[in-house]
């Protein structure tokens, strides 16, 4: 395709070269042909040996072309003789004297000869005009089209509601729009006015554009698509002209849908002051407001716009009569995520071990675009591994790659750092196991990803519409588990908990300043974490005094300290289980939630077997854990003698003296679980 385009680019120059060459040939411009006058022709015929001659007798002139030999070479000659009786007889007589056969050509047409002589010049002129027009069309010199609408008209859209999953309520809101576009008279008969504009609000990747295309596909109407930034240009008035042209075209093809993506680029609040003034954008917005008011009731034009920043839109744009219906397209829940995965898995070759329900459970907070990216990454990994099917292990790796980036297996820890990371991540897992309403660990790895030395996938036990104070406190406690584990087992802390501390502090501050979950009462304070709209919020006064700011900090500290103490208590009471999980991490580097349960029960784990095979082996044990232990084949980092050097202590109370905590040297003496641990099953 690229080669064809390259040939078309050079085609005009090739045609011009051929035309010029033809012009010189037709014009007799060859340097080897002598053009003789009448006297020179007579001299040549009298003195030279003419070997060939062609004579064309016209009404007024005689054209003579021939070849004569001057003794050294043959020379082409041509001449024109007036067609008089004496001169024509003389020329013919001389030719006959030279014993040259004369070819009397058909009598030529002067008008036709004149036209033929002008053909090369006409061809050159046409080519010049064509190239000039093409150069203007390929550059930015479209003077006549500069103010035209750039909305792309898409017809025969194949997207349907069946291709949009995870937003059932949003599709229900759009059904009546489809019904109106198909039969508008039904609404006019009832006296109903269909909404002129629908504003879809939601995070990026939730399917706002896809939903708008599905509406056009179901209604089978023209679909005009344009971005908000396509209206705004450097020159004032161009955007307004494009808006007028867009609505003019839409009225000619109604019923139709006009979809404006990222409308906040043109619909921001007017007169915002510092940093917010823009004459071209404001004039474009004014024209858009006027055109939407000019749309008559049931005129067959439906405006659909999408944005993820509704807080910066101009209030005049959101009033009834313009964008008078707002639909929030939120992130999908577990059921919606499963439906989205089923839609995007239609063209994927999935293995028999794929469980989309479990995959949806492990991806909270993922948008539809994220889930599509997960399946695509898994397919790429399958191709990379020369696999015919996509397996669950590749989907697990794809989730990690989307969230944290690819694993950096080449980055090696020293033994002390590796053990520190293992105990840190195991601290999060223990909190999720023994604290109600805490986030549950679905997967732990001590392989570095992105900027993190380890990775811990934590999800809620149940997805809730609203979170209570107890839920938030449990979540903060889960975040503090890693730091607390470092304090208890190593009597030291690392910088690896910075992300956990940041997340815990943000939740605690929102509890105080936004949710009113503190001793300060149900009062909304400025949290300082919102998106600032420059010009509107830059100089907005704060409603927090210095004393209140101090009390907010005190309440945030109080919440963090309470959760920290609770994490310290839980980890201290379940040290044995934490050591089991940490040793499993040191041996396998990556373990899942199911494998964590097996480790806690003292059962062996085998990552090469699918989940169902491990459970089947577990059922065959009938409570006897000795047989699996014998069959277990794992990598032993140290001899058996060294493994038995770590005696386990009984759980201690909350406040443990410093001298009774196990030291780092004692922890380093063991890397795996001894047989005595496997026979003890903690109370979960």
Question: Can you say which residues are annotated as belonging to the binding site for Zn(2+)?
Answer: 424, 428, 500
Structure tokens at 524: 């909304």
What own/partner pairs with CB < 8 Å and gap ≥ 24 does 77-82 have? Answer: 77/33, 77/34, 77/35, 77/36, 77/41, 77/44, 78/28, 78/33, 78/34, 78/35, 78/36, 79/35, 79/36, 79/37, 79/38, 79/40, 79/41, 81/38, 81/41, 82/38
Residue 462 main-chain phi, psi, to 5 deg: -140, 135
Is the alpha carbon torsion for 151, 153, 154, 160 positive or negative? Answer: positive
- Only one residue has tokens 């003698």, namely 641
HSE-CB at 5 with a 13 A cutoff on CA atoms is 2
149 near 259, Cβ under 8 Å? no
Distance CA 594, CA 582 (A): 15
Pairing of strands 49-57, 102-104: parallel
Question: Nearest to residue 213, comparing CAs of 288, 292, 160, 151?
Answer: 160
86 near 95, Cβ under 8 Å? no
306 near 208, Cβ under 8 Å? yes
DSSP secondary structure of 149-207:
--PEEE-S----GGG--S-HHHHHHHHHHHHHHH-HHHHHHHT----SEEEEE--TTSS
Judge residue 165's burial from the number of C-beta atoms within 10 Å of its C-beta, 0-12 exposed, 13-18 middle, 19 or more buried. Answer: buried
386 near 456, Cβ under 8 Å? no
419 near 427, Cβ under 8 Å? no
Binding positions are 202-209, 424, 428, 500
Bridge partners (DSSP) listed for residue 441 = 458
Binding positions for ATP are 202-209
Distance CA 128, CA 347 (A): 51
254 near 224, Cβ under 8 Å? no
Structure tokens at 683: 């109370």
325 near 197, Cβ under 8 Å? yes
Task: State the DSSP code for 100.
Answer: -
- 170, 425, 486, 555: the catalytic one is 425
357 a catalytic residue: no
Bridge partners (DSSP) listed for residue 404 = none
What own/partner pairs with CB < 8 Å and gap ≥ 24 does 82-85 have? Answer: 82/38, 83/57, 83/58, 83/59
Q: Which residues contact 143 (CB under 8 A, 6 or more apart)?
A: none
Distance CA 204, CA 365 (A): 12
CA 111, chain centre distance (Å) = 66
Residues that are catalytic: 425
């Amino acid at each position: 395709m690229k080669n064809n385009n390259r040939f078309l680019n050079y085609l005009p120059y090739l045609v011009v070269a051929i035309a010029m060459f033809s012009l010189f040939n037709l014009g007799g411009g060859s340097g080897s042909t002598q053009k003789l006058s009448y006297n020179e022709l007579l001299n040549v015929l009298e003195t030279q040996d003419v070997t060939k001659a062609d004579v064309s007798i016209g009404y007024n002139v005689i054209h003579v072309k021939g070849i004569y030999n001057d003794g050294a070479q043959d020379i082409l000659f041509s001449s024109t003789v007036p067609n008089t009786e004496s001169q024509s007889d003389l020329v013919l007589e001389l030719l006959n004297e030279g014993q040259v056969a004369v070819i009397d050509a058909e009598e030529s047409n002067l008008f036709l000869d004149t036209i033929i002589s002008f053909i090369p010049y006409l061809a050159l002129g046409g080519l010049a005009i064509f190239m000039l027009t093409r150069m203007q069309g390929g550059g930015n010199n479209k003077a006549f089209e500069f103010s035209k609408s750039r909305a792309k008209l898409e017809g025969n859209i194949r997207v349907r509601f069946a291709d949009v999953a995870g937003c059932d309520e949003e599709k229900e809101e759009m059904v009546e729009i489809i019904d109106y576009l198909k039969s508008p008279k039904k609404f006019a008969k009832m006296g109903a006015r269909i909404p002129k504009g629908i504003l879809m609000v939601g995070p990026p990747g939730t399917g706002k554009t896809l939903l708008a295309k599905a509406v056009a596909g179901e209604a089978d109407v023209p679909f005009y698509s344009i971005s908000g930034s396509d209206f705004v240009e450097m020159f004032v008035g161009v955007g307004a002209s494009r808006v007028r042209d867009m609505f003019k075209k839409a009225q000619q093809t109604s019923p139709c849908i006009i979809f404006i993506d990222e409308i906040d680029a043109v619909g921001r609040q007017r007169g915002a002051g510092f940093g917010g003034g823009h004459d071209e954008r404001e004039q474009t917005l004014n024209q858009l407001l006027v055109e939407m008011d000019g749309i008559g009731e049931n005129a067959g034009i439906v405006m659909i716009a999408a944005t993820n920043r509704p807080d910066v839109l101009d209030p005049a744009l959101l009033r009834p009569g313009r964008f008078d219906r707002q639909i929030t397209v939120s992130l999908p829940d577990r059921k919606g995520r499963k439906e989205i995965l089923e839609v995007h898995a239609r063209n994927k070759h999935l293995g028999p071990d794929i469980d989309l329900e479990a995959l949806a459970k492990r991806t909270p907070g993922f948008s539809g675009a994220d889930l599509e990216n997960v399946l695509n990454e898994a397919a790429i990994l399958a191709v990379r591994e020369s696999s015919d099917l996509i397996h669950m292990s590749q989907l697990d790796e794809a989730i990690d790659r989307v969230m944290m980036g690819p694993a950096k297996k080449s980055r090696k820890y020293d033994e002390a750092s590796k053990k520190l990371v293992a105990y840190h991540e195991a601290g999060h897992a223990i909190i999720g196991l023994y604290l109600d309403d805490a986030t549950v660990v679905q997967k732990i790895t001590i392989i570095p990803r992105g900027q993190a030395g380890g990775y811990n996938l934590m999800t809620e036990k149940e997805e809730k519409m609203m979170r209570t104070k107890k839920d938030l406190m449990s979540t903060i406690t889960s975040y503090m588990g890693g730091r607390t584990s470092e304090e208890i087992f190593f009597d030291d802390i690392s910088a690896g908990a910075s992300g956990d501390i940041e997340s815990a502090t943000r939740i605690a501050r929102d509890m105080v300043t936004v949710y009113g979950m503190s001793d300060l009462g149900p009062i909304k304070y400025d949290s300082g974490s919102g998106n600032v709209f420059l010009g509107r919020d830059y100089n907005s006064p704060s409603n927090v005094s210095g004393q209140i700011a101090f009390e907010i900090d005190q309440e945030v500290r109080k919440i963090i300290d309470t959760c920290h103490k609770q994490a310290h208590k839980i980890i201290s009471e379940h040290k044995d289980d934490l050591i089991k999980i940490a040793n499993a991490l040191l041996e396998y580097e990556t373990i899942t939630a199911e494998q964590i349960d097996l480790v806690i029960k003292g059962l062996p784990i085998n990552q090469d077997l699918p989940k169902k095979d491990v459970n089947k082996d577990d059922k065959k044990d009938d409570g006897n854990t000795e047989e699996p232990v014998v069959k277990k084949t794992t990598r032993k980092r140290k001899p058996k003698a060294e493994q038995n050097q770590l005696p386990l202590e009984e759980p201690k109370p909350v406040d443990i003296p410093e001298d009774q905590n196990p030291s780092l040297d004692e922890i380093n003496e063991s890397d795996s679980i001894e047989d005595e641990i496997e026979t003890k099953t903690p109370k979960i």
